[in-house]
Chain A
Amino acid sequence: MTDKQAPVKDQLSQPFFDAAADGKLSVQRCDGCGALRWPPLPSCPECRGRETTWIEVTPVGTIWSFVVYHRAFQKSLRDQIPYTVAMVQLDEGPYLVGRLEQGERKPAVGDRVTAEFLDLDGVPTVRWRLA
């Protein structure tokens, strides 16, 4: 089994990775209606406008929910279990799914989290940590 976990870095998502490499969290903002969106899309699902600007957002949010994997459904995850994946609502609105670092404290729905930026085999990666 190959490692299927590498995120797609394409023309659409490249600005996100470029910003993450600089330690910044960014999402798309529609030039037409101002709606923020994640994940990246070629046009705005609110107003169908095509013009978009990537903007930096505050890397702080709230845990909407999370799961803890005790089984690795892919070989590449075997040395990582147990690991936690959270859906985080950014203070500025959009929801992002990402890895939540295991800390001393057990997470709960509603907990505040902050983003950290690491380089995993050349891929800029966002991880969440309890605030």
Chain B
Amino acid sequence: MADRNPVAGKVAIVGLGHTAQGELPGRTVEEIAVEAAVNAVADAGLGFDDLDGLVACKSVQGSGADTTLGPVLGLNLPYVQTLNYGTCNFSLHLAAMAILSGMASTVLLTYGANARSGKFDFGQPMYGTDMAEAAGLVHIAGRAGLALRRHKALYGTTDEQFGMLAVGQRQWARKNPLAIFRKPMTMEDYLAEPYLVDPLRRADITMISDGGVAFVVTSAERAADLPQKAVYLAGMSEYAGIRGEHNPENLMRPWLKDSAQAIWRTTGLEPSDVDALYIQDPTALWSLQMLEYYGFCGIGEGGPFLAEGHTLPGGDLPLNTHGGQLSESYTWGWMHLVEAVRQLRGQADERQLDSPKLAAYLSSHGFFKAAASVLSTDPEAGA
């Protein structure tokens, strides 16, 4: 398998850092990202002089590029890159490629957001003002709702089954002091919520919060000398569904399966090997789709699978053990990777799972791009 998976055991996450999540009024995206970076570099036991790469991720408003981050960060570097979309998976993959190619050896990943304090308008047209936007199909909840209703019509998925995601995320968030939404929410509470964009309720859709996250990623050789338990990248995959909007391919996203097949094929791992699962979830629909396409259950079987409680605290497939984007914080999915690393290191306090060895982090950029990473404390995993 080694010839097909050149990444396994070669690259490790050695530092993580973040700011408080919630409201950080009066602060720029760059300042927030740098605070997270200071924490990540310290966590790695390194200094800023040890970095030779930067992958900056722009906020949803378009701030935080490498060139605007640089002056605040105070660094010139051999390798820098900016991604104009989030979820951290794509940033992690760029860092791994830079390290594997020899262009850098120790890369800082940054993300900062002030969308809440900055009152960012999530109702603005995402893809230009086309006929669909003009008809009122605004906000990501519209597209997610179209896909969910179709799923319900095709497979009989019920509100109670789908609601297990929001209810489960709240159960996990109650164990997480960082989480913004910690008020108990029973299934009864969930079902009593009115629809926001029918068939989605408020609890099915992420909050908007400010916050920054950063990671330090380095080669396995360097990781061996650092204080934290190294979390190795066992495998990575992507797939881009860039053909266009407003068609079944882009709403149901069957191409997520291509990313799934790539990561399981190249690592030789399978869904049952995953001890902790992280799915970036701007709406709960993301989790429903990815549970199915990545093979944790059959296509169309997500509803009954969720109803069986696998993804809840105590279940055999713990999902987003920090509460995810529905209950913990927004951060475009970056905190999912923070939590995955914490769980693998054994630093998740009240939420700590029983010695997890392998975590999967699955994400997507809107309805366009899928990315997956498998992480392990075992450098041989995926090789």
Residues of A within 8 A of B (CB): 1, 4-8, 39, 45, 64-74, 77, 80, 83, 85, 87, 95-99, 108-110, 123, 125-126
Contacts and interface: CB of A to CB of B under 8 A. Distances in A.
Contacts of A64: 146, 150, 248
B345 to A, nearest CB: 40
B246 A110 contact: no
A102 to B, nearest CB: 13
A77 B244 CA distance: 25
8 contacts: A4-B133, A7-B134, A67-B199, A68-B197, A77-B136, A85-B142, A87-B251, A98-B135
Contact of B246 (A70, A72, A97, A99): A97
B72 to A, nearest CB: 31
B150 A5 contact: no
B122 interface: yes
Interface stretch (B58-66, B106-114, B123-131, B321-329): B123-131
B130 A7 contact: yes
Given A85-B135, A95-B248, A97-B132, A73 B123 contact: yes
B129 A67 contact: no
A125 B135 CA distance: 9
Nearest to A99: B135
B129 A5 contact: yes
Interface in B95-150: 121-125, 128-139, 141-142, 145-147, 149-150
Contacts of B199: 67
B196 A70 contact: yes
| Most chain A CB inside 10 Å of its own CB: which residue of B124, B137, B141 | B137
B150 to A, nearest CB: 4
Interface string B187-206: 00000001111111000000
Interface of B: 121-125, 128-139, 141-142, 145-147, 149-150, 153, 194-200, 243-244, 246-248, 251
A39 B153 CA distance: 25
A128 to B, nearest CB: 9
Given A99-B135, A99-B136, A109-B153, A68 B198 contact: yes
Contacts of A126: 131
Given A7-B129, A7-B130, A95-B248, A67 B146 contact: yes
A77 to B, nearest CB: 6
B247 A95 contact: yes
Nearest to A125: B134
Nearest to B143: A67
Given A69-B142, A73-B123, A95-B248, A5 B149 contact: no
B124 A4 contact: yes
Contacts of A39: 130-131, 244, 246
B145 to A, nearest CB: 4
Nearest to B146: A65
B348 to A, nearest CB: 35
Contacts of A74: 123-124, 138
Which of B121, B136, B149 has most chain A Cβ within 10 Å?
B136
